[in-house]
Amino acid sequence: MEHVNKIGIRIESQNLPDISKKPSLIAVRVIERYGDGLCFAKTFNPSLQKVCAQNKERSFMGEAPSIATLLQAYPEQQVSAWIMAQLENLNDFTGVNGKIDTNQMIELAGIIETEYYFLKASELLLFFHMLKGGSFGVFYGNVDPMMISRALIDFKVYRRQQLEAYDREIQRKKRDEQWEEWGRKAVPCPEYLTLAKAFSENIQKDDSNIPVNLSLIHI
């Protein structure tokens, strides 16, 4: 038995558990913030891809729900339709003659839901913006689903690198705040603390794994 979703794409019914009946607390918060699945799709429509690209740190570090959370908050068919809307936008953007067809969209949406469930909605929109910008190569002759799958693997690597960079910056700021706090409390020779801070920063700059024993610095 088959049914047709809002954008007219035929999807075979699956015997999946209806997790929407008992949404998690985070899923409830998503529904409270964005409304139903259709309202969410309107908020995170393809035109938001540019905004996500202009605010990469927020796209990676912000509070947009992950695909896994969306699958808890909304019916699976609505999440699939939202992903397929991004693919249809990619279809319209590319200048090649061979477009990705409906069955390929359905299967690719399923792969994204299964293999990239951890991506935030903002991250997925950023991915499509980067894909259209040529960051992961170009299409030749047709919109190749395998090329999109390959690009997702590359994006996952890029995402990890960005998250690590943001985390290093957060840790650096925490260290600076800690040094400032220690400097305010240092008695009677805070200049020693300044030297210790410079010594520690030089070690980190040299990418050394030698631990700094602050207990040897008498303050």
Query: 3-class DSSP state for residue 142?
Result: strand
Annotated domain spans of the chain: 2-164, 186-219
Q: What is the pLDDT along the chain (219 residues), one digit of tens a residue?
A: 444 344 444 444 344 444 445 678 989 999 999 999 999 999 999 999 999 999 999 999 999 999 999 999 999 999 999 999 999 999 999 988 899 999 999 999 999 999 999 999 999 999 999 999 999 998 888 899 999 999 999 999 999 999 999 999 888 888 877 777 777 776 555 566 666 666 666 655 555 454 444 443 333
pLDDT in tens, 93-106: 998 889 999 999 99
Which residue in the block uniquely carries the two structure tokens 């009946």? 21
Which pair of tokens denotes residue 217? 């610095």
Q: How buried is 202 (Cβ within 10 angstroms: 0-12 exposed, 13-18 middle, 19+ buried)?
A: exposed
